[in-house]
Structure 1
Amino acid sequence: MTPDQTPDPRVPLLLVSGLTASPNAELAELLRMAGPGTAVVHHDLREIHSGVVRRRLRLEQRDQLTVLELAHGCVSCTLREDLLPLLRHLARMPQVRRIVVRLDEAMEPEPVSWAIRNVLVGDHPVIDDVDLRTVLTVVDCATFLADVTGDDALAERNLQASPEDERTVAQVALSQVEFADVLVLAGAATDAWTAAKASAILDRVAPSVSRVELSRIDGHSVLDAVPPDARRGEVTDMHGALLRGQPPVHVDCGIGLVTFTAQRPFHPERLHDALDVLLDGVVRTRGRAWVASQPDVAFWIESAGGGLGIGHAGPWLAAPDGPAWTDVSPERRTLASLRWHPVHGDRAQELVVVTDQTTPDEIDAALRGALLTEEELAAGPGVWQNYPDPFGDWHEEPCEDTETGPARHDATAANRKEDQ
């Protein structure tokens, strides 16, 4: 710190996420024991279907369990009604020097980080009181490969975050990993092949994220592993780069990486028919799509473990109601400039697919076959907007009026493979 810099008065905040309760609790305890004045908060959502959340707060000699009864049992309500006000309260207690939030296994750190930065508690967001220093995700090495390549729904493991939660285990596990600053590896894989294949997946979905072993760290050394360029809870720009770091492009243990790009729109019905290729033999899909029948809005597509999410990512810059260039991030402006088309502007297809049993060539062929043909392209937007559109009706999330997540969660159609 230089002499003219003022110390940040905010209380440091650490988020711990992961699919397995026991190692998550172990890491949170290591962080609690690392120094005096560390408060650890955990919300247990296992009874949220009944509108009940159990909150545990540990601070010095205090170990308090509180049963919360919510009018509507969901993560949004838990955040808005309890976690965010609690964080502000703790940050203003003089004995609290650091806060650790151990997220429930079903919670993804990105929407929590978004809420901390954007949801008002009183007149200000909680980020005015806390400094989100890092996101730590625990990876259970014994189950990770099966979790991210399987089709289990959270409900099948009693891990739902609300009665309406249709996410798959793979969707949550990969979201937790992708948003982390450090991956804390717990336990061991069942064999060398499983370990190698799991590592190949991590190399492609989180190439820039540090990895440490839970058995070899303490509450200080795990924080030393946070890289200088860590995102530290910064929410992903949905129109920014889809890859962080430099993932390997070769196939390793059957795991490959496909980057699909094109500067012509998808036919809505052919895209809908092609979505199965993103569900079978695929570990992860993330990216933006330009659909001919809805030319002014970018679609956001995510898939994992037989689960598919399709939502709106907001208007393209070239859309009539698109944002001004000065209102978007420098990264988005740069990417748009590199691909700008004299007629279609920044509209384009950009998808990143991590493959397993499906080959990269199969992915590319299926997606390319869903693009408009030369004849269809020549017909123009007036014709495109009259195409039958299976994406016209959007699923609405519960607590729609109090949404606490990034834009892509505003209208997400979550489907299982067997429902396609």
Structure 2
Amino acid sequence: MSDVTPVTLLSGSLGAGKTTLVNHLLSTADDTDLAVLVNDMGTVNVDAELVADGSELDVDDGVAELSNGCICCELQDDLEAAVVRLARDRSFDHLVVEPSGISEPAPIARLFTTESRVAALYDVDAVVTVLDTPLFLDQFSDTETPERRGTDGDRPLSDLLVEQVELSNVVLLNKADQCTDDELTRARSLVGGLQPDATGIETTFSAVEPDRLLGSDRFDATAIEELPGWKRALSDDAVEHDNHTEDHDAHTHPDEVYGVSSTTICRHQPVSPAQFASFLRGLPTTVIRAKGTVWIAGNDNRITVSQAGPSIRATTQGPWIATLPAVDREMYRSNRPDLPWHEEHGDRRTELVFIGTDYDETAIETGMADTFADADAADSPETHPFPTDDGEEVIIKAP
């Protein structure tokens, strides 16, 4: 065994088929000695028991378990201790980490890539997301299906699904046998729009050749924050528009491969919060992702807006640098020489990307244009839903 062990990180909603995939890999990866770490949200680690049952292993023989928490957040220290202990006590070729279905993959990946005792022992091979494809499609359909919608904890399911796909190297479109050809085509398009570089594999009962997942060397630690399609669209737009020193109402990036297009809008101008909230609530279901930074009239805080299907959230991200005292402003600017800066408005701007399939781009452009207001305009906080305090988050539209 080499000094550094490859690790595959799994993500996916509850019931998508992650545990089935783990058992499949344990039973078919004959040439690879796997270690598995599983995590469930209950006091009894059901997933660990299922892995053990499916692989004819005892829970303490090749399977280390963390229970009663999510390994991406409150049990982060336990995860670090568990993977270090595994590397110390056992000899294996590859580690598979299966977190709870409500886990975000990015914090887990960072544990394995930042300077730590874990990063010295492991190297992330790939982030694999297992999709319950019918459920995934339900989140972005025109038809309400209340029994399948909802949240995991306080997090809208559609929002979590989108972020899991955005940070993936490989996406398993599982339960493909429950979908029509048209539905699978739509699912592939949605995945491609959210994460253009991900490899999509259609599966039934999570059956996939182990060598398509293990040893693929798909993960790039330096690109983890730049993987999503929405970030790429904004980045491409920044190059084309001279770092946003000039305003533009809209710029569209068609994707001929996936049939998905993205529209970016950037202005050094605030939006009327009431009108902007109305615009967001009226987004068509064919817009699967919208995200960016918004200048709210009368608000000195940067607002990040994140839409995933039927879910829309807004979060304050601290003050605009242009609103700080002159000494602080110049210090921040000297530390960030690439910061887009407008002669009059500084870094204050509205910069959004919309990603979707067959949506009316003109309607998006016109709708956004109607939300822009004068720089000194302001609405009373009582008349709109956007947050005003630093670190505050609000739900603009719930699924």
Please show how residues 93-104 of structure 1 align to structure 2 within 5 Å. 93-104=89-100
Q: Per the alignment, do residues 256 and 81 of structure 1 end up closer, same or farther by CA in structure 2, a change over 3 Å counting?
A: same
Q: 1:131 aligns with which of 104, 123, 126?
A: 123
Give a deviation string over 1:44-73, Cα, whole Å, max 9, x none: 22x4xxx66556276995434888775xx6
* 1:132 alignment partner, SS class: strand
Deviation at 1:308, TM superposition (A): 1.4
Contact 1:289 1:349 in 2 (8 A): yes
Structure 2 residue aligned with 1:13, among 3, 7, 10? 7
Q: Deviations over 1:193-251 (max 9, x none)?
A: 22222222222211122223447842223246554xx4448542699971279996169
Tell me the SS of whatever aligns to 2:171. Answer: strand
Judge conservation of contact 2:306–2:313 (CA < 8 Å) in 1: yes
237, 242, 267: which one pairs with 1:262? 267
Specify the code of the residue in structure 1 equivalent to 2:281. Answer: D
1:269 and 1:208, CA in 2 relative to 1: closer, same or farther beyond 3 A?
A: same
In the other structure, the counterpart of 1:183 is: 171
Q: Residues 35 and 96 of structure 2 are in contact (CA less than 8 Å); yes or no, is this contact kept in structure 1?
A: yes
State the Cα distance separating 1:40 from its structure 2 match: 0.9
Q: Distance in 1 between the 2:227 and 2:318 partners?
A: 9
Q: Alignment partner for residue 137 of structure 2, among 118, 142, 145?
A: 145
Aligned residues: 367
Shift in alpha-carbon separation, 1:292–1:239, aligned structure 2, 3 A: farther
Query: Structure 1 vs Structure 2: percent identity of aligned residues?
Result: 21
Q: Which amino acid aligns with 2:270?
A: P
2:196 is matched with 207
What is the CA-CA distance between 1:170 and the residue it aligns to? 1.9
Partners of 2:144 and 2:389 in 1: how far apart? 24
2: distance between equivalents of 1:26 and 1:138?
10
Mark the CA change 1:238 to 1:63 in structure 2 (over 3 Å): closer, same or farther. Answer: closer
- 301, 304, 311: which is aligned to 2:308? 304
1:412 is aligned to 2:389: no
Secondary structure of the residue aligned to 2:7 is strand
How far off its partner does 1:255 sit? Answer: 5.7
The code of the aligned residue for 2:393 comes to T
Once residues 90 and 143 of structure 1 are traced to their aligned partners in structure 2, the CA distance between those partners, rounded to angstroms, is 35
1:276 CA displacement: 0.6
Distance 1:83 1:202, change over 3 A: same
SS of residue paired to 2:84: helix
Distance 2:268 2:227 in 1: 18
Residues in 2 aligned to 1:82 and 1:112: alpha-carbon distance in whole angstroms: 12
CA distance in 1, matches of 2:227, 2:271: 19
Distance 1:240 1:343 in 2: 31
Note if contact 2:151-2:157 (Cα within 8 Å) is conserved in structure 1: no
Q: What amino acid is aligned across from residue 345 of structure 2 in structure 1?
A: H
The AA in structure 1 aligned to 2:157 is V
Q: 5+ unaligned residues in a row in structure 1: which ranges?
A: 1-6, 396-409
How far does the alpha carbon of each residue in 1:100-148 deviate from its partner, in whole angstroms, 9 at most, with x for none? 1112223221233345557x9xxx5743443222201123444432234
User: Which residue in the other structure is 1:194 paired with?
Assistant: 183
Instruction: State the 1:179 CA deviation.
Output: 0.7
> Which range moves more in the overlay, 250-259 or 88-97?
250-259
The answer to whether the Cα contact below 8 Å between 1:168 and 1:307 also exists between their aligned partners in 2 is yes
Q: Supply the distance in 2 between the matched residues of 1:411 and 1:264 (Cα, whole angstroms).
A: 22
> Pick from 283, 291, 295: which aligns with 1:290?
295
**What is the aligned partner in structure 2 of residue 359 from structure 1?**
360
| Conserved 8 A contact 2:72-2:104 | no
Q: Which residue of 1 aligns with 2:247?
A: none
CA contact (8 A) 2:113 2:221 kept: no
Q: Does 1:391 align with 2:389?
A: no
Cα gap change, 1:412/1:98 in structure 2, threshold over 3 Å: closer, same or farther? Answer: farther
- 1:326 is displaced (CA, Å) by 7.1
> TM-score, normalising length from structure 2?
0.73
The 1:126/1:394 distance shift into structure 2, 3 A limit, reads farther
Deviation digits for residues 376-416 of structure 1 (CA, Å, limit 9, x no counterpart): 23x4xxx6598766424569xxxxxxxxxxxxxx6432454
Cα contact 1:249–1:257 (8 A) shared by 2: yes
Contact 1:277 1:366 in 2 (8 A): no
